[in-house]
Amino acid sequence: MDKTKFRSMAKCVLVLAIIALCSGLLLGLFNWITYVDPLQSTYEQFSADTGAVFSKMKDEEGASYGNGSVVYYAVSDDGQYHAFLVQASGWGGTLQMYVYIRDAHVSKVVLGENGETLWSQFEDDFFSQFVGLDLLQTDAFGQTDIQTGATAKKTIQAIADAMNAVVQYYNDQVAGGENNG
Amino acid sequence: MDRRKMRETVLGGLIRNNPTFVLVLGTCPTIAMTTSLFQAFAMGLATTFVLIFSNLFVSLLRNLIPDKVRIPCYIVIISTFVIIVQMVMRRFLPDLYSTMQAFIALIVVNCIILARAESYASCNPPLYSMLDGISMGIGFTAALCLIGIVREFFAGGSFAGMQIPGFPAMSGVGASAFGFIVFGCLMALFNFIVEKIEARKRSMRRASLPLASRAESLEEVQQ
């Protein structure tokens, strides 16, 4: 190999590697400064949305149901609310939703972190259509159960999959299952 | 510091080379993030931060970065600052972050930032490059805010989230197609005004010259 060519190539690799290393160190520092404990932030979100106190997670492992999955499940200290952080793959990556259940009925749904770009297509009160859904009377939740004028198919599918994960988890593990009580 | 160059750099980003209305760069976030004034302002600020620091670091490293790997190096530098913006927003502005998440990540490929790194910061000293970043950032933010004000007014009948009595929201106006129309109209208006000011300045300069030089200057303009 030509020595000059090798030198030039080595210089390129070295410079790029040093810049990448410095960038990594800088990001590490910022990550340390801005780190948010996911469990703590989920507790705070659960409390902010329901007004109830959540002091421990009932299930930190979660469960997957096809494209949708339950990330965290908690019951409020007074036992009134069952709170879920669920997620599914949408168009722009992972879409997260907070779903709250009271007396086996959905009492509130709040959109969490997501990378979807077509929210302007959705109605302002889009998530209120899920309120009142009786989980004990629902076996599965699909795309056709969602009422909207929006045409963002992948986003709608992700929302349906996330809701379905709640329905399945609640019926399997909460209503008559191992986490009951 | 050369005062004239400084003035040119500052005015360049704001008016003569405004990234949105003159260079027509970064059209994607311009349309996507201008449905409201608040979002437009936040996007502008995030982009300004990335512009300033990427320009600074590209300028500082300009003599060390080999020509062959300059673009990958610029991308690494730019993406570092975009991720920092993401981390800070996620920690301190979670609500805003959840609505802008997809577009914040896209700042990495925003043409304005890469264009300024390549055309300005890579051949100018750090202080001028930072100044260029500030000026371009303010120019971009101002343009986004202007479009955001018009779009929010027509689509939501509001200003900065406050409802204006007597102006109802118009359905369909919030769509991207209307965004392009607003963008085009404001661009035309901006260039018309800038051109008028420049023409007035030219004529004033000509009027202040002695007669012989005025004829020469007129010839130059005609050529």
Q: What's the pLDDT tens digit per position in B40-80?
A: 999 999 999 999 999 999 999 999 999 999 999 999 999 99
Residue A177, pLDDT score? 53
B residues 25-54 lying closer than 8 A (beta carbon) to A:
32, 35
Choose between A171 and B166: higher pLDDT.
A171
Cβ pair A135, A170 in contact under 8 A:
yes
User: From CA A174, how far away is CA A180, in angstroms rounded?
Assistant: 4
Residue A102 CB contacts under 8 Å (≥ 6 apart), including other chains: A80, A81, A82
Please give the structure tokens belonging to residue A144.
């056709």
Residue in A16, A93, A120 nearest the CB of B73: A16
Q: How many domains does chain B have?
A: 1
**Lowest model confidence (mean pLDDT) among A63-77, A139-153, B133-147:** A139-153
Residues A9 and A88 in one domain: no
Same domain, yes or no: A79 and A18:
no
- B188 to chain A, any CB pair closer than 8 A? The answer is no
Q: Does position A37 have pLDDT exceeding 90, yes or no?
A: no
Reply yes or no on whether the pLDDT at A139 is more than 90.
no
Contact A62, A69 (CB under 8 A): yes
| Closest Cα in chain A, distance from residue B84 (Å) | 7
For B74, the domain range is 3-222
Q: Is residue A165 within 8 Å of residue A86, measured between CB atoms?
A: yes
d(CA A135, CA A141): 10
Residue in A closest to B173 by C-alpha: A120
- Expressed in angstroms, the distance from the first to the final Cα of chain A is 72
Domain assignment present for residue A180? The answer is no
Contact across the interface for A31 and B73, Cβ inside 8 Å: no
Residues A22 and A105 in one domain: no
Average pLDDT, chain B: 88
- Please report whether residue A181 resides in a domain: no
Residue A171 has pLDDT above 50, yes or no: yes
The answer to whether the CB atoms of A30 and B88 lie below 8 A apart is: yes
Residues A48 and A8 in one domain: no
Q: Answer whether residue A60 is part of any domain.
A: yes
A10 touches chain B (CB under 8 A): no
**Residues A136, A171: one domain?**
yes
> Could you report the predicted ipTM of this complex, rounded to two decimals?
0.78
**Does residue A156 fall inside a structural domain?**
yes
Average pLDDT over residues A56-74: 88
On chain A, the residues whose CB falls within 8 A of the CB of B73 are 15-16, 19
Let me know whether A100 and A58 are in one domain: yes
The pLDDT of residue A180 is 47
Residue B70's identity, in one-letter code, is R
Residue A118 belongs to domain spanning? 38-175
Q: Span A108-112, mean pLDDT?
A: 92
Query: Mean pLDDT across the stretch A100-125?
Result: 86
pLDDT band at B82; cut points 50, 70, 90 = very high
Q: Note the pLDDT tens digit of each residue in B165-193.
A: 877 777 777 778 888 999 999 999 999 99
State residue A181's pLDDT score: 43
Query: What band does A165 get if pLDDT is binned at 50, 70 and 90?
Result: very high
Q: Which two structure tokens, joined as six digits, stand for A79? A: 């036992």
Give the separation between CA B91 and CA B135, rounded to whole angstroms: 27
Residue B167 in tokens: 């102006």
Measure the CA–CA gap between B165 and B139, rounded to whole angstroms: 31
Q: Within this chain, do residues A96 and A134 fall inside the same structural domain, yes or no?
A: yes
CA dihedral sign of residues B132, B138, B141, B144: negative
User: In one letter, which amino acid is B100?
Assistant: M
A139-162 mean pLDDT: 89
pLDDT of residue A124: 79
Q: Are A69 and A102 in a shared domain?
A: yes
pLDDT at B1 over 50: yes
Q: Please tell me the predicted confidence (pLDDT) of residue A175.
A: 80
A12: nearest CB among B32, B69, B92? B69
Does residue B75 belong to the interface with chain A, where contact is any CB pair within 8 Å? no
How many angstroms away from the CA of B73 is the closest CA of chain A? 6
Q: What is the pLDDT of residues B119-142, one digit of tens each?
A: 999 999 999 999 999 999 999 999
Do A22 and A71 share a domain, yes or no? no
Query: Could you report the per-residue pLDDT of A3-32, keeping only the tens digit for each?
Result: 888 998 999 999 999 999 999 999 999 999
Q: What is the pLDDT confidence band of residue B221, given thresholds at 50, 70 and 90?
A: low
What is the C-alpha to C-alpha distance for residues B50 and B54, in angstroms, rounded to an integer?
Answer: 6
- Same domain flag for A55 and A16: no
Split into its structural domains, chain A has a count of 2
The answer, for B65 touching chain A at a CB cutoff of 8 Å, is: yes
What is the H or E stretch that residue B203 is in? helix B176-208
Give this prediction's pTM.
0.76
Q: Which amino acid is at B165?
A: P
Residues A16 and A102 in one domain: no
- What is the residue type of A81? Y
Together in a domain, A52 and A74? yes
